[in-house]
Amino acid sequence: MNQKVTHRQMVLMLMLLSITGTLLQPHAQAIFYAEQHAYLCYIPVVLIMLTSMWMLSRVQRRFPDKDLFESLVTRFPFLGRVAGLMYIAFFFFVFARDIRLTGDYVSITLLETTPISIIVLSLLVMAIFIVRGGLGSLIGMVELYVVLFLLNSIIVPFMLIQQIDLDNLKPYFDVDFAGVGTGSWYLFSFYGEMIVLPFVIKGSDFRVKSILTGNIVTGLLMMLIVIETITSIGVPIASRLVYPSYELARQLQISDFLDRFDLALAAATLPCIITKIAFDLYFVCWGLKRMIPKVSGKVLTGPIALLGFVCAFWFFRNAIQLNRFTREWTWIAIVFEVIFPIVFFLFLRPRKKKAQYAPNPESGERASRGKQQEGEQKQEQASGESDHSEGKSEEKSGEKSAEKSIEKKGKTSHGGGNLQPS
């Protein structure tokens, strides 16, 4: 059964799914192509995802008590399962990519001497325990750590005042639209992973208001982070970094005592990334449970996590290969984040009721009136028959009493004649 989700929780989950992956990798690629106007790359991405999520919200309104997995399976038993399995395979790949990306990020920035396999296994153990708690534990993690990340994002600009150089944004109005479009291409596949939400949330909780708020807040926050990166680090350096967000955190210096403030930011950011990994794993297990009802999602959690661990190192041998695959990955992501929502919007509708089960209300009233009249006539006939039968019974009783009186008279007269003298 789906857990009820509030407006606030919906917005925070949208932010979690869109921010975590985008924050780590594709900003450097967007800055490389769009240069000082890389923040504009989020405008077409936000508009496209708003359209896709709006179409899915319209679909969910047709099935208010079901999630999208259940709607697909009940409406189209075969094709719905095929589409559901394709989404499961897509997000299993996202799960493997995320744990590989996070493992490289932690290994490069924080734990340089620790083997990456140990780091990834530690992340998977935490993700497994979160998923076993169900959607409620995931929502609890989201409400705690995404809010903490938002607070950090609001505080960071005030700490970067000394490092900010607005000249890095010049020329302000000389926009390379081709470069902005290419940057949007690299950002789209990461930002569009919010498409997973209607599959785990029932239709009545998937609201347009939450979609609009979450997309706008997330887009503005990511644009702010890109502007901070460009103004504090510069386009030439930021475009060649593997993890520009980490380098942005290293620019923060409150005093000589806290010259490694990046550790505090990592302490707030890493739980969000782990929660995102757990959400990917939860989606895969939940989808398999919906496709195969007899399968237990909790039992599948461990094996699927280990399979993702193996595939993470099988698909990507190093961080460079992971970084270069973003360009090709967008072609695949468009199918699941744009094309399938359009198909669902056009074809996924409830079954129409047959005419005999849904008559015209006027004809129904006429039929009911006719039935009432027939019933009244039958009652009148029945009452008439009962009166007629009562009259007959009274007549019969009168005839019988008359016959008895005649017999009695005959008997008395016959007896009296015998007593007369002859």
What secondary structure, in 3-state letters, does 19-54 show?
Answer: HHHHHHCCHHHHHHHHHHHHHHHHHHHHHHHHHHHH
pLDDT(149) > 60:
yes
Helices 42-62, 340-347: axis angle to 10 degrees equals 30
**Does the pLDDT of residue 155 top 90, yes or no?**
no
Note whether 105 and 24 are within 8 A (CB).
Answer: yes
Q: Which of 58-72, 153-167, 304-318 bottoms out in mean pLDDT, i.e. has the lowest?
A: 153-167
Q: Please give the share of the chain, as a percent, with pLDDT higher than 70.
A: 80
Q: How far, in Å, are 99, 263, 332 from residue 336 at the CA level? A: 21, 36, 7
Short-list 354, 351, 349, 358, CA closest to 61: 349
Q: Give pLDDT, residue 406.
A: 42
- Give the CATH number of domain 7-338: 1.20.1740.10
Residue 352 has pLDDT above 50, yes or no: yes
Band (373; pLDDT cuts 50, 70, 90): low
Average pLDDT in the chain: 82
- Is pLDDT at 397 greater than 80 in this prediction? no
User: Region 158-167: what's the mean pLDDT?
Assistant: 83
Instruction: Decide if 186 contacts 255 (C-beta within 8 A).
Output: no
Q: Is the pLDDT of residue 21 over 60?
A: yes
Contact criterion met (CB below 8 Å) for 290 and 70: yes
d(CA 323, CA 26): 8
Q: Which residue ranges make up each domain of the chain?
A: 7-338
Instruction: List, for residues 291-342, the tens digit of each pLDDT value.
Output: 887 888 788 899 999 999 999 999 888 878 888 888 889 999 999 999 999 9
Q: CA angle, corner 195, sides to 285 and 309, nearest 5? A: 40
186/328 Cα distance (integer angstroms): 9
Contact indicator for 277, 106 with CB cutoff of 8 Å: no
For the chain, the residue count is 422
- The residue among 300, 91, 343 whose CA lies nearest residue 200 is 91
H or E stretch at 314: helix 297-315
Helix/strand/coil percent split, the chain, to 5: 80, 0, 20
Residue 200 has pLDDT above 80, yes or no: yes
The predicted pLDDT at position 83 comes to 94
